[in-house]
Chain A
């Protein structure tokens, strides 16, 4: 590398505090021209904060940023754009009702002109697309595009603005394996054209695959910078977590009777559009069935259906042979342990005390008699629950919102799995419906949740695991079904699926021949 050409990006001593929390602690990094640098770290390690500072959304408390040797004005997204930094957010910032061209051109043209120039931008857009091998139809409405195509539009939007440094925040989280592979090919092409890329992820495999160097962040600190060619998976995981990671222990697998049965179930949304379409599924005692799929394909409706929050417009839903109505109370009474996807807004009442949330599913029975809450019994149970499920960080009387995500999930898990009994052996759920149970959790909490699901299934619970994280499903599930556009494939043993076959099914193009491969 030539020492006289400045690096594409140089961060020196970036520090950012939020109250007592040090989100970034004196982070120094360089990004060379034509390099892919991966920022690896768990949720809350400080990746997003660092990038937000870089892009001018936050102002660092200390430290400087240089882009191609020139200092970057802090707190000014326009300056970051002008310096050639482009950002592809995890949640896309596109207007669904506009065309691809309008989305890309938006904001680059003068506001006060009578007639918008359409031919010029179109030609430039097509030239950019051609150069980087990003096929798009400028006239297509963004709302009609797939997630992978939308991401392509986001990247193109940055390139159209002459980005020389591209930041991608968890870009594969919404993609099928095939779409992810296409993205990696695109990134290689961009690098060949001289762009520099910052790739943010918490997934080791893809980080090792796409990056030249890896910067590992943990608790706001840069703990290591390694060459990807020589980096080792296990070592990276330990750097990221700060301790050795215990893998969940698989249990002996005995399949019992069918506990949860969906027969030709359809669910429509408020507008009458189908969100689940003719879905059939049987989950037996002692097994874990994973539902894989790109988010937004009906997982939410399936989870709500099996939590008693939504009713089916057609078909039957039964637990242990008994059809259940769309009332959460009936499902709780039937011994269904429910882990909702949004643990903060749905799983707990944030303003309620930890002990109140602990009894929330059973506040009528057994924690009340004659309409009066049995406060001391409730607190006793809550204390036993928080001890047994290792809920830390807030006392029984603190509001649940004070708990971290991992501790909150343990509280919800404990509440669902103990069924109001302080002792462990007095209750065992018949069915567990876990929706995105590890989303956003640190590695330790993820292992805890997986172990809890495995243990419960070993004791005979039927477990339905709905997750966007394919790795999670492949690691934990005995059988896997794939959901796409509200339709569910057969649930087949995990070993008979290949990643490629699951990817195809996630994209909605399953063919028996390929799926069998």
Chain B
């Protein structure tokens, strides 16, 4: 048994791959549902209902999808250039912390600046924090050949510990009754609600706009050409004169910046302050979303809504039947593995010898 490269890459196969992966994933998790002793049909129906079945469900799903779109874009742009940024989780927290550092109510009032100045400064600080955090592993990679999978992954833990330090120290909210949480963001820096009486905020507009911009950049600009060339073959790219290290560095700044931006959007759109559990693994889920989307920025939007729907749906499902919400994590994880296998089969076929 061995793998043989398909003579030509079929676009249909690449489009079908994520759907096949999701179908396979739901098939596998069905076994777990059955094992938990719950009725399979009802469980999935409840999950779908909880994610997409009502106006409220949709509003919750879109709220959850907003940071996932941004971390998904972060992973997609990096992976396209074969920069394996596994650190979006840490970059998101760094961005969130930077946002509060600029726009928080330090000493009860915060900086004495108008929101028209402070709002862009807050977003800029978050983008910068995420970008700089990814810049370090990227320079280690391009200069010294240090594997960025390891460095970006481990930086996540360092950042989380740093956030913990800040939340118990300089940025601790004195009114939070001892809970480790940061001071709140100024009210006039919070994002507006997009749909009244829901939690959907204007962050999703930013995410959609950035996806469109990124799709355009990757397809139509010389930088997009460079980034794609570096990802497809760094040796060939170097031969034709693409500045490989510089391209990687710019890609890193964009990828880290997007993840940092996700942190600011979460603080300004949903939580209002930083806590250690503000992200239930958005950075890691972004990797799954990017893969499901085939690294296509517009596809990321769709995949983020799907994954968000699963996460939200599982929450409401677990209240109806005796299946823990962890099933959502299993679905996300299995769909990543299935997607990797599906992509493999889109490019190769199995031969029995």
Contacts and interface: CB of A to CB of B under 8 A. Distances in A.
Interface residues of B, number: 22
Q: Which of B8, B233, B240 has the most CB of A within 10 A?
A: B240
Given A346-B235, A398-B8, A361 B240 contact: yes
B240 A368 contact: no
B229 A349 contact: yes
A349 B221 contact: no
Contact of A346 (B9, B220, B232, B236): B236
A345 B240 CA distance: 12
A6 interface: no
B228 A340 contact: no
B353 interface: yes
A20 B8 CA distance: 12
Contacts of B24: none
Contacts of B9: 399
Nearest to A400: B236
A503 to B, nearest CB: 32
Given A349-B229, A373-B225, A399-B9, A361 B241 contact: yes
Interface in A280-329: 307-309, 327-329
Contact of B8 (A59, A308, A346, A402): A402
A349 B220 contact: no
B236 A348 contact: yes
B178 interface: no
Nearest to A367: B222
A368 B222 contact: yes
A332 B222 contact: no
Contact of B220 (A340, A356, A372, A398): A372
A328 B236 CA distance: 11
Nearest to B349: A19
Contacts of B278: none
A352 B232 contact: yes
Contacts of A20: 7
Interface in B1-26: 4, 7-9
Name, among B7, B233, B241, the residue most crowded by chain A CB atoms within 10 Å (CB to CB): B241
Interface in B108-137: none
A340 B240 CA distance: 11
A403 B2 CA distance: 24
B226 to A, nearest CB: 8
A351 interface: yes
Nearest to A415: B240
A112 interface: no
B4 A19 contact: yes
A250 B308 CA distance: 69
Interface string A173-189: 00000000000000000
A18 B4 contact: yes
Contacts of B237: 349
A338 B237 CA distance: 14
B15 to A, nearest CB: 17
Interface in B226-250: 226, 228-229, 232-233, 235-241
A466 to B, nearest CB: 15
B306 interface: no
B223 interface: yes
A13 interface: no
B236 A345 contact: yes
Contacts, number: 72
B348 to A, nearest CB: 12
Nearest to A398: B8
Interface string A372-384: 1101000000000
User: B225, B236, B238 — which one has the most chain A CB atoms within 10 A of its CB?
Assistant: B236
A134 interface: no
B312 to A, nearest CB: 36
Nearest to A352: B232
Given A349-B232, A360-B229, A332 B241 contact: yes
Chain A interface category by residue count: 35 or more
**Among B4, B7, B353: residue with most chain A CB under 10 A:** B7
Contacts of A352: 228-229, 232
A349 B353 contact: no
A121 interface: no
Given A352-B228, A371-B222, A373-B220, A309 B8 contact: no
Most chain B C-beta atoms within 10 Å of own C-beta, residue among A58, A338, A352:
A352
B232 A351 contact: yes
Interface string A335-355: 000101000011111111000
A148 interface: no
A402 B7 contact: yes
A63 to B, nearest CB: 16
B239 A371 contact: no
Contacts of A308: 241
A75 interface: yes
Interface string A439-457: 0000000000000000000
A233 interface: no
Given A75-B353, A349-B236, A351-B233, A327 B241 contact: yes
A10 to B, nearest CB: 24
B233 A363 contact: no
B241 A373 contact: no
A134 to B, nearest CB: 36
Contacts of A356: 225
A372 B241 contact: no
Given A328-B241, A347-B239, A363 B7 contact: no
User: Lowest 4 A-B CB distances belong to which pairs?
Assistant: A329-B241, A328-B241, A360-B240, A351-B232
Interface of B: 4, 7-9, 220-223, 225-226, 228-229, 232-233, 235-241, 353
Interface of A: 18-20, 58-59, 75, 307-309, 327-329, 332, 338, 340, 345-352, 356, 360-361, 363-364, 368, 371-373, 375, 398-399, 402
5 contacts: A75-B353, A327-B241, A345-B235, A372-B221, A375-B220
